[in-house]
Amino acid sequence: MTFRFFAPLLAALLFMTPAPVRAQTAQAATAPRLQAQLIAAVTGTGDLKTIQAGVEIKLAQGWHTYWRTPGETGLAPAFDWAGSQNLRSADILWPAPTRYDSFGIQDFGYKNAVVFPVTVTPRQPGDAVVLHLKLNVLVCKELCVPAQQTLTLKIPAGEAEVSAEQPLLAAALKEIPSQAGNGAFSVSNVWLDDSGKKLSFHAYGHAAAPPAADADLFIESKSGASFGAPRFAYNPATQELEITAPVRGGGALSSLESALDGTDVTLTYKSNGAAWQRSVTFGGAHPAHRVMENLLQGAAMHLDPAILLFAFLGGLILNLMPCVLPVLSIKVLEVLSHGGKDHRLHRAEIFRNFMAAAAGIVFSFWAVAGGLVLVKDSGAAIGWGIQFQYPPFLIFLIAVLLVFAANMWGFFEIPLPRFVAHHLTRRHEHAPTMLGHFLTGAFATLLATPCSAPFLGTAISFALARQAADIFTVFTFMGLGLAAPYILLALSPRVFKYMPKPGNWMLAFKKILAAALFLTALWLGHVLLTIETQPTLDAGWQPFDQTQISRDVAQGDTVFVDITADWCLTCKANMRLVLDRPDVEAAMAVPNVVLMQGDWTHHDARISAYLNAYGRYGIPFNIVYGPGAPNGIILSELLSKREVLNALIVAAGE
């Protein structure tokens, strides 16, 4: 133990003395207890802007070396690329480490073998690259021994064919912690306890599910503080994971809090063979010190204000999405019914009617949120728009659409209960009742639920990974966004003075709008029929198979995944306006691009789990994998040609 404690000082002294080690060219350099070599995923540089390489280290049985943050006694490996040719940069990627506890001293590193992936950027793409590495490592078992290796690897100019080492590098890349975006591993309430002996925080997201037996957390900060093995407490009601890590060493709370305050703390979380990484800024205070902040934020005290802004903007943009356009006819008719009115005489009526529609929208978002909370508490899979997977809901929507269409035509083909008919029927020629306005707003929300808009996916994914209060808060802001045009019209009645007055022309206009609603009902009828049949794939696409993705990528293929559904009009718009365009089709038609399509028209637990693994609860969902992006590049809800083509290039490693 004594030798291990002083090993870093001895190693530093030995590293200062050059060792007469012979340089190697694409071969292993051998030293006692250690073998090291440089490897590359390609046999030539081709025209690649970045090249995947790696440093492979093999240790004698039972020996280990260290992570970038080595722990209490170790030393991090040092990589010196001086002497390399045609090298702009060489970025080391660090696999998630293992914790070693020896006589109460905790270190972080790798036992027996490790591969450090290296992203190589040439100065001149296409020219040969010569990598020259001076590697300093500390290897330990009962005692620690410093080792220095000099390695050389030449990647010649020429065709960038897959090398024999590519599968080894592909496997090593899977060990790199994912950057915990998209709701995978989010953190709130980072604090030190009053004694300064524990750092605690709450984690949420799909990665923060009940921790596996191998779960561990590694905390890095520039404060110099070190942290011991964490304790995990999972709350199934809130789906939050409370993590507490003891502070190693002494010191007063005030000094440690001051050292951490405002600094970034990097968290690397391991569970069930996977790893995620996230940086958070330490705020310093215990939750008890933030009583006023909690009172101000209420039920949403853990919510980032940006999420609420995204929810509002997503709801606002939803007004322009394909799913909501059929309801536009009802909205337009309501606006026109107030045309030509003197805002001074009808201000109260206009305000009541449009605020009633806004209330219908917000109320419906609450109803959807409540339904999702109930389904979530039952343990079933949840998602935005999943109600369109169930025939009773579709039958209800079809009936309501036909009611609205028949009402606009001036008659009802479907007999209605007297109470409903009374409130859906206009008091006079063009004036719906208050409840009619409310029901129209509610119906707009129901038709909006299969759509995903920019900002909306982020807000929904965040909310559905959280507790009930957060879901209701985020859905309230989404409802306010969708209702914003109604609220603005209610507060600005002057605009109606400049609109045409209702008249006979509206009768023909109403029938045109009614036809749009009838076509929407036909579309929903088609969706209802497809739920009971086997899904059909678009031409050129193969069925979604998550297990096949990694195998295809290991072979050097690029995989484009499209999760769609017949009821998702945004998905259909993406296919028609972007993916079916000739230049995009040509980029996808090359032999090394695999197209996978998952159909979520009816319930599919595999697809639900796949979406949730990326913190997504709705569609469209598109992601591109490849040698240059083994963890995938997630695309936006509304695709663009440039975004798709760029993702294909990056994923291919080009």
Q: What is the pLDDT of residues 246-266, one digit of tens each?
A: 887 544 445 566 556 656 788
Say yes or no to pLDDT of 18 above 50.
no
Closest to 482 in 3D by CA, of 323, 635, 370: 323
Dist. CA 311–CA 8, nearest whole Å: 51
pLDDT of 320 reads: 74
Residue 465: CA atoms inside 13 Å, Cβ hemisphere, count?
34
Residue that the structure tokens 């296409």 belong to: 126
Average pLDDT score over residue span 503-523: 73
Quote the mean pLDDT of the chain: 77
Say yes or no to pLDDT of 413 above 60.
no
Residue 2: which pLDDT band, with cuts at 50, 70 and 90? very low
Q: Which residues, other chains included, contact 9 with Cβ-Cβ below 8 Å and sequence gap of 6+?
A: none
Alpha carbon distance, N-terminus to C-terminus of the chain:
49
pTM reported for the whole predicted model: 0.47
More confident residue, 184 or 474: 474
Dist. CA 13–CA 3, nearest whole Å: 14
Closest to 188 in 3D by CA, of 127, 241, 131: 241
Dist. CA 149–CA 305, nearest whole Å: 50
Average pLDDT score over residue span 589-610: 87
Q: Which residues, other chains included, contact 5 with Cβ-Cβ below 8 Å and sequence gap of 6+?
A: 73, 105
pLDDT digits (tens, 9 = 90+) for 266-320: 889 998 888 988 887 765 443 333 322 332 333 333 455 777 888 898 888 887 7
Angle at 146 between CA 141 and CA 150, to 5 degrees: 125
- Amino acid in the structure at residue 226: S
pLDDT of 397 reads: 77
* Tokens found for residue 398: 């079809």
Long-range contacts of 124-128 (CB under 8 A, 24+ apart): 124/86, 125/45, 125/47, 125/48, 125/49, 126/45, 126/46, 126/47, 126/157, 127/45, 127/86, 127/157, 128/45, 128/85, 128/86, 128/154, 128/155, 128/156, 128/157
pLDDT of 534 reads: 62
What is the percent of the chain where pLDDT is above 70?
72
Q: Which CATH architecture has domain 542-651?
A: 3-Layer(aba) Sandwich (3.40)
> Strand locations in 506-570, DSSP E?
542-543, 558-564
Residue 154: which pLDDT band, with cuts at 50, 70 and 90? very high
- Strands 558-564, 593-599: pairing kind: parallel
Dist. CA 93–CA 79, nearest whole Å: 12
Say yes or no to pLDDT of 133 above 70.
yes
Average pLDDT score over residue span 512-522: 78
pLDDT digits (tens, 9 = 90+) for 470-497: 889 889 999 999 889 888 877 876 766 6
Dist. CA 231–CA 209, nearest whole Å: 14
Q: Which CATH architecture has domain 186-299?
A: Sandwich (2.60)
pLDDT of 456 reads: 75
Q: Count CB neighbours of 455 within 10 A.
A: 24
3-state secondary structure of 616: coil
Say yes or no to pLDDT of 6 above 70.
no
More confident residue, 16 or 172: 172
pLDDT of 21 reads: 31
- Strands 64-71, 51-59: pairing kind: unpaired
Number of helices followed by number of strands (H, E) in the chain: 18, 26
Least confident interval from 4-8, 78-82, 495-499: 4-8
Q: Which DSSP symbol is given to 575?
A: I
pLDDT of 122 reads: 95
Do you know the residue count of the chain?
654
Q: Which residues, other chains included, contact 354 with Cβ-Cβ below 8 Å and sequence gap of 6+?
A: 334, 437, 486, 487, 489, 490
- Enumerate the domain spans of the chain: 2-172, 186-299, 306-395+426-511, 542-651
Report which secondary-structure segment, H or E, holds 232: strand 231-235
More confident residue, 325 or 248: 248
pLDDT of 401 reads: 77
Long-range contacts of 296-299 (CB under 8 A, 24+ apart): 298/473, 299/469, 299/470, 299/472, 299/473
pLDDT of 303 reads: 54
Q: Count CB neighbours of 479 within 10 A.
A: 28
Least confident interval from 237-241, 476-480, 570-574: 237-241
pLDDT of 262 reads: 58
Residue 51: which pLDDT band, with cuts at 50, 70 and 90? very high
Residue 346: which pLDDT band, with cuts at 50, 70 and 90? low
Average pLDDT score over residue span 496-510: 64
Q: Which DSSP symbol is given to 444?
A: H
Q: Count CB neighbours of 591 within 10 A.
A: 6
Q: Which CATH architecture has domain 2-172?
A: Sandwich (2.60)
Query: Is there a shared CATH topology between the 2-172 domain and the 186-299 domain?
Result: yes
pLDDT of 3 reads: 44
Helix 456-464 vs helix 468-491: crossing angle, to nearest 10: 140
